[in-house]
């Protein structure tokens, strides 16, 4: 990667973060979960994306189809992170394979500042996903585009162990070894274990998933522990846009990510 591309990559990382912290609004759930997450209001991408703008999120995560049809009205208002792969929730967990659906060239054409890619660490298709991502990461370096890996354990381990330090820490380390700039992982349940996840990731920055909708107090206690453990922020979706009025929630979360804000 040439010097100019390295500068471009750093500039884009700075655009999708603030003071080194990330707050990304995700709406890639339509392909990952189907329509079950949506109601008559939030099924409309315009309704969701507006909160990324109003809430001063540092990025909006979309799949290609939604970006192609809706992003024109938001370009320049909030950075775009284009998700380049996906799968449905119909297949059994042990058959988890997130196939490439878009390219780095698509991301550049849409004006994205970063790309996202899911890898199911431990899946029987792990080798194929590693190979797919290696090609994408090389192309992203050529364009100076940062990469974010969604690193989720899947495979023969019991479902209840997928969010333990043993597997989440391994997944975070895999993201570093594969060259990701940022890794999104699930919370391991305690500040102490999540500190270990951050340590395993080293120079790959760690952000946490929000998961399914939680009570406010449960979510904010978790969010504070995640930040205290050394994480760099969140990629969050349902906990925001499944609310009738997300703004009070967004403001409170921003105070945890950026306590220096007025």
State how far the Cα of 174 lies from the Cα of 251, in Å rounded to an integer.
33
Q: Is residue 95 part of a domain?
A: yes
Q: Is residue 112 part of a domain?
A: yes
How confident is the model at residue 210, as a pLDDT? 85
User: Domain with 102 in it: what CATH number?
Assistant: 3.20.20.70
CA distances from residue 14 to 22, 150, 173 in whole angstroms, order as listed: 10, 20, 23
Q: Is residue 70 part of a domain?
A: yes
Per-residue pLDDT of the chain (262 residues; tens, 9 = 90+): 566 678 899 999 999 999 999 999 999 999 999 999 999 999 999 999 999 999 999 999 999 999 999 999 999 999 999 999 999 999 888 889 999 999 999 999 999 999 999 999 999 999 999 999 999 999 999 999 999 999 999 998 999 999 999 999 999 999 999 999 999 999 999 999 999 999 999 999 999 998 776 789 999 999 999 999 999 999 999 999 999 999 999 999 999 999 998 6
Q: Is residue 261 part of a domain?
A: no
Q: Is residue 262 part of a domain?
A: no
Name the residue range of residue 98's domain: 3-256
How confident is the model at residue 262, as a pLDDT? 62
Q: Is residue 238 part of a domain?
A: yes
How confident is the model at residue 6, as a pLDDT? 82
Q: Is residue 27 part of a domain?
A: yes
Residues found in the chain: 262
State how far the Cα of 247 lies from the Cα of 202, in Å rounded to an integer.
33
Q: Is residue 11 part of a domain?
A: yes
How confident is the model at residue 93, as a pLDDT? 83
Catalytic sites, residue numbers: 152, 184
Domain count within the chain: 1
């Amino acid at each position: 990667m040439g010097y100019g591309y390295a500068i471009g990559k750093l500039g884009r990382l700075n655009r999708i973060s603030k003071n080194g912290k990330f707050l990304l609004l995700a709406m890639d759930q339509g392909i990952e979960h189907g329509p079950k997450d949506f109601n008559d209001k939030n099924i409309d991408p315009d309704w969701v994306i507006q909160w990324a703008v109003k809430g001063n999120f540092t990025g909006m995560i979309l799949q290609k189809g939604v970006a192609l049809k809706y992003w024109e009205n938001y370009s320049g208002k909030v950075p775009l992170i284009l998700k380049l792969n996906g799968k449905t929730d119909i297949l059994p967990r042990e058959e988890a394979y997130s196939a490439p659906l878009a390219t780095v060239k698509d991301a550049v054409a849409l004006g994205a500042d970063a790309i996202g890619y899911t890898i199911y660490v431990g899946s029987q298709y792990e080798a194929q996903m590693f190979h797919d991502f290696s090609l994408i990461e090389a192309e992203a370096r050529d364009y100076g585009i940062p990469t974010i890996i969604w690193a989720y354990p899947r495979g023969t381990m019991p479902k209840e162990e997928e969010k333990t330090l043993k597997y989440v820490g391994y997944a975070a380390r895999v993201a570093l070894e594969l060259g990701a700039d940022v890794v999104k992982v699930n919370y391991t349940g305690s500040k102490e274990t999540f500190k270990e996840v951050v340590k395993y990731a080293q120079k790959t920055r760690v952000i946490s998933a929000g998961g399914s909708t939680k009570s406010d107090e449960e979510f904010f206690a978790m969010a504070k522990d995640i930040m205290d453990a050394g994480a760099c922020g969140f990629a969050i979706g349902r906990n925001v846009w499944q609310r009738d009025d997300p703004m009070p929630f967004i403001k409170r979360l921003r105070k945890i990510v950026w306590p220096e804000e007025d």
